[in-house]
Amino acid sequence: MNTTKKDLWDASLYDNNHAFVSNYGTDLISLLNPKQGERVLDVGCGTGDLANMLHDLHIDVVGIDYSENMIEQAKQKYPHIPFYVADATALTYENEFDCVFSNATLHWIKNPEKAIESIYQSLKLGGRMVVEFGGGGNVQTITDELIKQIKNAGIPFTDEQFPWYFPTIGEYTSLLESKNFQVGYAFHFSRPTKLSGEDGLRNWLEMFSPSIFENVDTVVKNNIFDTVEKNLYEKLYRNGNWYADYKRIRIIALKK
């Protein structure tokens, strides 16, 4: 891992409050439709839950994640699976995997060309990439309000500071084709996602926006979160739970 970059991922918070990420990922395993003995690379494996489901299906799975904290927790939970800290834009595998699988990770990579090249290199010829991540418009109700309140607090916020990449399906499939993938399936859909309980939105903001607030005083950050909660209550809070406006892209693409 790049040691100059601080690891802002809290693996325990992730496991305790964000199990829905892996729960939705089980659906993606159905799309992957893995065959016994296939060799699968899980890119952005987090704390390893989906990799372990693949292992239980007799898949020869390897998990990688950019976060040391996540990989440490994955190794503790599932010591029988090989997990490594690695950068998805600089993988060193060559023609090794039948499949590259990735759930809720590729939107963190703001250099998608490099990630696609790296995945391509890791796959065997004819191997498949089966991925799901945030597409155009993903969590936009939340991020628009968050950025508005950051700016209202007098904190500058530029496009470069936006930590995510949420492409349209046209943008992403064109990129894949330009890198010699054959796109067999592409689907862009809305999936309002329950963030459990009264603190659901705040937990989500705490978990996923630390890079935005790295240099912001905690009191200022908490005031921003208070205002975001207040302003989004009518739009996103129903029957005791918050619902984030997730929009997902699912892709199956083959290495030509």
Q: How big is the chain by its Cα radius of gyration, in Å?
A: 18
208 binds ligand BEZ (CB under 6 A): yes
Query: Of 59 and 207, which has the nearer Cβ to ligand BEZ?
Result: 207
Q: Between residues 9 and 181, which has the closer beta carbon with respect to ligand BEZ? A: 9
CA 86 to chain centre: 15
Q: In the range 59-98, which residues lie near ligand BEZ by CB under 6 A?
A: none
Q: Could you say which of 102, 138, 149, 203 contacts ligand BEZ (CB under 6 A)?
A: 138
In DSSP terms, 85 is beta-bridged to 65
Least distance to ligand BEZ, CB of residue 140, Å: 10
62: Cβ–Cβ under 8 A, 6 or more apart, which residues?
A: 39, 40, 41, 42, 51, 81, 82, 83, 84, 97
Q: How far apart are CA 54 and CA 52, in angstroms?
A: 5
Q: Which is nearer to ligand BEZ, 26 or 178 (CB)?
A: 26
Asked if 256 and 180 count as a contact pair (C-beta separation under 8 A), the reply is: yes
State in angstroms the smallest separation of the CB of 117 from ligand BEZ.
23
Nearer to ligand BEZ, 123 or 142 (CB): 142
Q: How far is the CB of 139 from ligand BEZ (least distance, A)?
A: 5
Among 45, 64, 139, 155, binds ligand BEZ (CB under 6 A): 139
141 contact partners, CB below 8 Å, separation of at least 6: 232, 235, 236, 245
Tell me which stretch binds ligand BEZ (CB under 6 A): 68-76, 86-94, 133-141, 230-238: 133-141
Alpha carbon distance 99, 41 (integer Å): 6
Between CA 128 and CA 99 the distance in angstroms is 5
User: Binding residues for ligand BEZ, how many (CB under 6 A)?
Assistant: 8
CA 234 to chain centroid: 27
Report the residue number, 56 or 159, with the smaller CB distance to ligand BEZ. Answer: 159
Q: Which of 246, 251, 253, 255 binds ligand BEZ (CB under 6 A)?
A: 246
104 is an interface residue for ligand BEZ by CB under 6 A: yes
| Three-state secondary structure call for residue 215 | coil
Q: Name the residue number minimizing CB distance to ligand BEZ.
A: 134
| 188 is a site residue for ligand BEZ (CB under 6 A) | no
Shortest CB 246 distance to ligand BEZ, Å: 5
With b for 16 or more beta-carbon neighbours within 10 A and e for fewer, the 240-251 pattern comes to eebbbbbbbbbb
What is the C-alpha to C-alpha distance for residues 79 and 173, in angstroms, rounded to an integer?
Answer: 36
Nearer to ligand BEZ, 18 or 55 (CB): 18
Residues that bind ligand BEZ (CB under 6 A): 104, 107, 134, 138-139, 164, 208, 246
